[in-house]
Amino acid sequence: MKTTTYAAGILEAYEYLLTNHQDFFIIGQGLWSPWYVGATMTDLDKKFGKDRVIDCPVSELATTGATVGASICGYRPMIVHPRVDFMLLAVDQIVTQAAKWRHMFGGNSTAPATFRAIINRGGEQGAQHSQSLHSWFAHIPGLKVVMPYTAKDARNLMISSVLSNDPVVFLDDRWLYEKEEEYTEIEIIDLNDVLPQKLREGDNITVVGVSYTSLLCEKACEYLENTQGIKSDFFDLRVLNPLKLEEIIKSVNKTGRLLVVDGDWSSCGIASEIIASIMEKVNLDSLKSSPKRITLPDAPAPTSKALEQLYYIKEEQIVETIIELVK
């Protein structure tokens, strides 16, 4: 069986886009470095040239502005921010300009830029290098937000993001780069058609994960089915904005229980938005327990390795919470 990894999926997406779309180019910091952004961009500069894979000085604001400007002029560019934390230095170009462009000009002009950012938390990197911030960007109308979990989605949804006519924030989690799965061929998907993906089928509880937490959820659901016979409808969210929750609402009406697991903070986070949106539409008489969420503690990430063990979500927490909800 031929297999691939999450990082290899991203690299394959780049090779497809650079080969088939001459209006596509990439700009960012460290794109020619030996690290090659976690092996997701290995040798692209050598294969496709340094005029299409552009390593740039440290100026998030200038390079993001250039990316937005190029997209308005007919290109389909991508800016790579090796840490999402520093994308905040360019939030005006993303939130105030790109996200609004189509609406301000009555649909006659668009800014189809892709803003790729990487979540690098853990490894004692501390509070300023460990944020995710996807809930921030998902709050903004006009801005699509994509967070793939599988290698297949990392590849296919990156292609979909670049080919979208809207600006897209594409967030990938470095903790998933070595995740391996069976290889599949490239599938071109309209980003507007992408829904949450059901990865496990069950009647006892509905579980929703986002990016890396989908890995934890999938392991927890598998463990509980094998050891205790608890079967979960498990969904990987994939697209955070716009949220499309119809299938998850149907699932909650069936199971009567809901758990959302997100690697972000609780307050105003995507987990609370999912729960609120589902509670507005679900048949309340079908509920067997109150919905629950598992998120990060409301505190900046610690630097100490010992404290990191306490801070980040673990599979065991998900297992215990599902048992509590189902009992």
Q: Strand pairing of 26-28 and 78-81?
A: parallel
Strands ordered across the beta sheet of 258-265: 197-200, 232-236, 205-209, 258-265, 292-296
Helix or strand (DSSP H, E) at 61 = helix 60-72
Predicted pLDDT at 99: 98
Predicted pLDDT at 233: 98
Read off the tokens for 92.
Answer: 């005006």
Q: Strand pairing of 3-5 and 168-173?
A: unpaired
Please say whether the beta carbons of 211 and 148 come within 8 A: yes
Q: CA 296, CA 128: separation in Å to the nearest integer? A: 15
Predicted pLDDT at 195: 98
**Strand runs labelled E in 114-213:** 114-119, 144-146, 168-173, 180-182, 197-200, 205-209
Please say whether the beta carbons of 235 and 199 come within 8 A: yes
Q: In this structure, is the dihedral angle defined by the CA atoms of residues 102, 104, 108 and 109, taken in order, positive or negative?
A: negative
Predicted pLDDT at 122: 83
Q: Any bridge partners for residue 205, and if so which?
A: 232
The secondary structure of 148-174 as a DSSP string is --SHHHHHHHHHHHHHSSS-EEEEEEG
Predicted pLDDT at 318: 98
Contacts of 225 (CB under 8 A, 6+ apart): 200, 202, 231, 232
Predicted pLDDT at 271: 98
Contacts of 152 (CB under 8 A, 6+ apart): 9, 181, 184, 187
Task: Provide the whole-model pTM.
Answer: 0.96
pLDDT mean values, one per 10 residues, the chain (327 residues): 96 98 96 92 97 94 96 97 94 97 95 96 87 95 98 98 98 96 96 97 98 98 98 98 97 98 96 98 96 96 93 97 96
Q: Any bridge partners for residue 258, and if so which?
A: 206
Contacts of 124 (CB under 8 A, 6+ apart): 303, 304, 305, 308
Contacts of 134 (CB under 8 A, 6+ apart): 145, 147, 169, 171, 210, 211, 240, 264, 270
Q: CA 261, CA 270: separation in Å to the nearest integer? A: 10
